[in-house]
Amino acid sequence: MSANEMDLRDLLLRVASTYDRSAKTTKGTPGQELLRRVSHMSLPLPIGTFAEGHGGRGGSAFCPWIGVFDPDINEKPREGLYLAYIFAKDLTSVTLTLQQGVEGAGATPRKNRAVHRRLRANAERLQAAMLQDALDGWRERPRLGVKTADWRPTAYEEASIAARRYEIPHLPAEADLRDDLWEAMAILQLAAAVDRETWNSEVEDQLPASTARKWVDQAPRKKLSGFRPKDDSDYRVHTPERDQVRTRRHETLIRAFGEYIQAQGFEADTEVHPRDLMLTSVGGEWLVEGKVVSAQNPTKAVREAVGQLFEYRHFYCRESNPYLLALFTEDIVAYADYLETLRIGSVWKTQEGWAGSRSAVEWGIVAP
């Protein structure tokens, strides 16, 4: 593991052991330096998401935390929905919670009580509208060990929509922490969909609807021959049959897979608009269509991939007649066998790397 790579478990333990609330936020403070480095770390996160560490500004925060963001939903903690690992004040526990932005709700030391009530009301609105079995095992409320006067941590407690608490001395194994994070990300996506569908603009004394801001990926990218991933910002493309919005996670998926597949000896070309990707090797040519799976429900993503693969092959690849490959942000479960009946291979991102269907294995795209 490189110096820039870190497991979730290791990161949480290091924050708990190095953070010092009595220290300043200036450079040279170990806990604060660790939190600042989070955004530059290679962490095992769901594909296309990103993390940031927060330890306060000016003065150290009562409860340090690490945010995990889906850029198709929200990119900043001030407002909107996101995930966060929030440490208790005494650093003996950390809670993975689905949060609402408290500052966007107007939370300040002077207005804390009214805003806390509004945050709790909105959390209960979303909980009531969600599929209740999706919240099984996530009905805890964060207990951060703070007083009501500690307005921001108290706001975190009231703003929580779903949560799971871990005691630092008994932190679960890395595999379990990753499973929990993937499950929490699915709950975040479900809550965001519910928020969009159920918001009533005439209801007073509630929070503003969650908003998604434009996110620009400013991380340096290695230039690859024939492989130039598009910007991760949303945009619209036109095909002979439809207009389609592609999301930032979609472009992150294409970029990550393109970099991976070139390391396997394939040539990858993204300059094939409106197709996502074309692969070539001594074994042939592949037309690739990538899809984001939302809330662990692959049905819509699979249907769209099938339609577009056949459509693009008909309109753009009549002479070459390439193999068809569907690419997903996560496991599509039984749909992999279904796609095989249509002679479509499939590949998906896992917590450890990439996996795929039997055709993808036979083509040498993923390991058995």
What one-character-per-residue DSSP string does 13-27 give?
A: HHHHHH--TTSBSST
CATH architecture of the domain 235-362 equals: 3-Layer(aba) Sandwich (3.40)
For the entire predicted model, the pTM comes to 0.77
Q: What per-residue confidence (pLDDT) applies to 143?
A: 92
Q: H or E stretch including 223? A: none
CB-based contacts of 109: which residues, under 8 Å, 6+ apart? 151
Bond into 274 cis (ω within 30): yes
- Distance of alpha carbon 174 from alpha carbon 342, whole angstroms: 37
Q: What per-residue confidence (pLDDT) applies to 205?
A: 44
The sign one gets for the Cα dihedral 100, 292, 300, 184 is negative
Q: Quick one: which of 8, 20, 94 has its CA closest to 61? A: 20
Question: What residues form DSSP beta bridges with 237?
Answer: 244
Q: 367, 349 in Cβ contact below 8 A?
A: no
Q: What per-residue confidence (pLDDT) applies to 243?
A: 44
Q: 305, 326 in Cβ contact below 8 A?
A: yes
Q: Do the domains 235-362 and 8-198 match in fold?
A: no
Q: Quick one: which of 269, 280, 214 has its CA closest to 247? A: 214
Three-class secondary structure of residue 143 per DSSP: coil
Q: What per-residue confidence (pLDDT) applies to 60?
A: 87
Q: What per-residue confidence (pLDDT) applies to 129?
A: 87
Residue with tokens 């095989």: 340
The CA-atom distances, in angstroms, between 41 and each of 8, 70, 95 are 11, 17, 21
Three-class secondary structure of residue 206 per DSSP: coil
Residue with tokens 């998906």: 348
Q: 171, 13 in Cβ contact below 8 A?
A: yes
Q: What per-residue confidence (pLDDT) applies to 261?
A: 97
- Ranges under pLDDT 70 in the chain: 1-3, 104-112, 148-149, 198-246
Q: What per-residue confidence (pLDDT) applies to 152?
A: 86
Three-class secondary structure of residue 68 per DSSP: strand
Q: Domain residues of the chain, as ranges?
A: 8-198, 235-362
- Distance of alpha carbon 328 from alpha carbon 252, whole angstroms: 11
The sign one gets for the Cα dihedral 40, 42, 48, 51 is negative
CATH class belonging to 8-198:
alpha beta
